[in-house]
Structure 1
Amino acid sequence: MAAMMSGPPTGGLVKTRLRGWVDPYAGLAAFDFARHPPTPALAPYVDHFWVVTWTDLDEPYEQRIVSHPTVNMTITHDFHQIAGVIKGGFSYTMRGSGRVLGTRFAPGGFRPFLGGPVHQLTGRFTEIGELYGTAGATLVEHVLTAPDAPAAIAHVEEFLLGLGPERDPLAEEVASLVVMAENDVTMTRVDALAARSGRSVRSLQRLFREYVGIGPKWVIRRFRLHEAAERIYQGLDLATLAAELGYTDQAHLTRDFTAVVGMPPAAYARLGPAR
């Protein structure tokens, strides 16, 4: 998407592009969001690049995110960090004009660039220069001074390819399992995912901790919360939704949803496109 959208997204837009954004309809009225595929050589490691731009905001705009089970490298004038899996929600406040370039790695895809278990990054924001030294600091400078998003992305791609990543079958296995957990809304239990993977529950837990940075139970529950946020907009009865998404009762869903999203389901429903 190159131009800002003036109205609410239609069809599957929220699901396919904005899943995890709190109140995406308001967000798309405040800033422009674009997503770019990686060069084929990086496709085993990088899910996509994402770019947020905003111009002459009259007032600061805060966008809250309900995170995904992925590592992101984010570069803007305010910060230049690698974020491991963030267990809770987090937010970023935009002021004036600016641009953020993000690199969203595939689940497990950052491990070749880290050279160690991804769980050591979980819940942390690490400076790119701290992790990669002078080369990382140079990357940040090049991205911040790039004339446009394609040029900034080209710098990131050159940097990542220069690190010489090697494909890892386990990383690719875990990526497919995370996609399975996301796309299958009936997947609500770790033992079901373990059975589909052909692994024991304990083996699956070790694999996820090593490559994703967090356990499969958290991954499944987070995707079901993403699903809940979308379907609450549609006015689905909470008790029915809780049962379909594997919660023991409506109260349990409400507690989880409120803790992560920052408001109860009833309040979130009022933020929908019909407001």
Structure 2
Amino acid sequence: MSGVDMAGFDVPGPLAGGLRVVPHPAVMLVLEFGAAPSVVDDGAGRRHRGSVVAGPGFGCGGMVRAWGSSVACVQVRLSPLMARTVLDVGPADLDGTLVTLADLWGREASRVREQLAEVPSWEGRFALTEALLARRYQARSRVDPEVAWAWRRIAASRGRVRIEGLAAELGWSRKRLWTRFRSQVGMPPKRAATLVRFDHAVHRLVAGDTATRVAADGGYTDQSHLHRDVAAFTGLTPTTVTAEPFLTIDDVAWPTSRPGPPSPDTASDADWSAGASTA
């Protein structure tokens, strides 16, 4: 399935201090099946246990943390174009928020947990998850082609596209694009572009590029502009964000190139074992 990436995480011990959740331009679906339910503190005093769903940009401000011990889960990154179809919830209802999967799927959430726990390999868990998502996707309506086109243009440009230009190319007013895009993708197009631009920038910082170079190449007006965006999304500076496990694990859990079968025993700097798959 296009627009779906999966990674498997197995954390044998406790998440010391909790894991800061860094915003990402995708809908995050966490299907947990470990010995004890994981917990996500949403930064507003609410704690969510077990499998969860978060909208694009969830974690903005850097106050969201995940906790747990002996955590095992399949994490799915869904293109916002897939969310309404697969999750059976309006994307606008997920804008920067978190809900439990049980709230959306009822008893099916428990059945999925049990099924994942019974499968002995990551390859099997990915296959089970892919089949689940494909079944739900085929049974529901899709987003408007114009909205899908606008999202893909934003993603392909790494957030460096003018929203007025997108509306003009579609022959729509800016208001019409804003309304359709937000209702079907879950956030306004300008915020989507800002989030996509941030995601590319912060991963370049993690890879070792300087803030000056990242700002210049990433469409920021200057280095201070980059600094403000990183602080707004993570609560950190460009220098300190490079040590965040949620980001440093990405090249292992979500590799951009997957030439062969995923390896569930790949070790990360965060002492996690992880496997990866593209559906």
TM-score range, shorter chain: 0.5 to 0.7
Q: Distance in 2 between matches of 1:203 and 1:72?
A: 27
Aligned partner (choices 86, 89, 100) of residue 127 of structure 1: 100
Q: Which amino acid aligns with 2:92?
A: H
Give the aligned partner of residue 31 of structure 2.
Answer: 75
Structure 1 residues 252 and 60: CA distance shift in structure 2, 3 A: same
CA displacement, residues 118-156 of structure 1 (integer Å, 9 cap, x when unaligned): 101223322222212222321222223432223333433
Q: When the two structures are superposed, what TM-score results if normalisation uses the length of structure 2?
A: 0.66
Q: Distance in 1 between matches of 2:210 and 2:216?
A: 12
Q: Distance in 2 between matches of 1:80 and 1:225?
A: 26
> Does structure 1 retain, via aligned residues, the 8 Å contact 2:80–2:91?
no
Q: Distance in 2 between matches of 1:52 and 1:201?
A: 41
How many matched pairs? 226
CA displacement, residues 180-220 of structure 1 (integer Å, 9 cap, x when unaligned): 32332472432233345553322221222112111111111
Q: Distance in 2 between matches of 1:237 and 1:113?
A: 37
**Secondary structure of 1:207's match?**
helix
Alignment of 1:227-246 (within 5 A): 227-232=200-205, 234-236=208-210, 238=212, 241-242=214-215, 244-246=217-219
Structure 1 residues 143 and 92: CA distance shift in structure 2, 3 A: same
> Does structure 2 retain, via aligned residues, the 8 Å contact 1:107–1:175?
no
Q: When the two structures are superposed, what TM-score results if normalisation uses the length of structure 1?
A: 0.67
| Structure 2: segments with no counterpart, 5+ residues | 39-49, 249-279
Q: Distance in 2 between matches of 1:252 and 1:182?
A: 20
Aligned partner (choices 84, 96, 100) of residue 55 of structure 2: 84
Note if 1:166 corresponds to 2:137. Answer: no
Q: Distance in 2 between matches of 1:117 and 1:235?
A: 37
Q: Distance in 2 between matches of 1:241 and 1:229?
A: 8
CA displacement, residues 25-68 of structure 1 (integer Å, 9 cap, x when unaligned): xxxxxxxxxxxxxxxxxx25x512221223457x7375434322
Structure 1 residues 265 and 174: CA distance shift in structure 2, 3 A: same
CA shift for structure 1 position 167? 4.9
Greater displacement, 133-142 / 63-72:
63-72
Give the aligned partner of residue 25 of structure 1.
Answer: none
> Does structure 2 retain, via aligned residues, the 8 Å contact 1:72–1:84?
yes
Q: Distance in 1 between matches of 2:26 and 2:77?
A: 7
Q: Distance in 2 between matches of 1:220 and 1:256?
A: 12
Q: Distance in 2 between matches of 1:186 and 1:106?
A: 15
Alignment of 1:174-189 (within 5 A): 174-185=147-158, 187-189=160-162
Note if 1:219 corresponds to 2:189. Answer: no
Give the aligned partner of residue 48 of structure 1.
Answer: 5
CA shift for structure 1 position 92? 2.9
CA displacement, residues 42-99 of structure 1 (integer Å, 9 cap, x when unaligned): x25x512221223457x7375434322322221223121122221614443464x432
Query: In angstroms, what is the RMSD of aligned CA positions?
Result: 3.3
Note if 1:149 corresponds to 2:106. Answer: no
Structure 1 residues 118 and 150: CA distance shift in structure 2, 3 A: same
Q: Distance in 2 between matches of 1:190 and 1:208?
A: 11
| Structure 1: segments with no counterpart, 5+ residues | 1-42
Aligned partner (choices 67, 87, 112) of residue 85 of structure 2: 112
Greater displacement, 228-237 / 213-222:
228-237
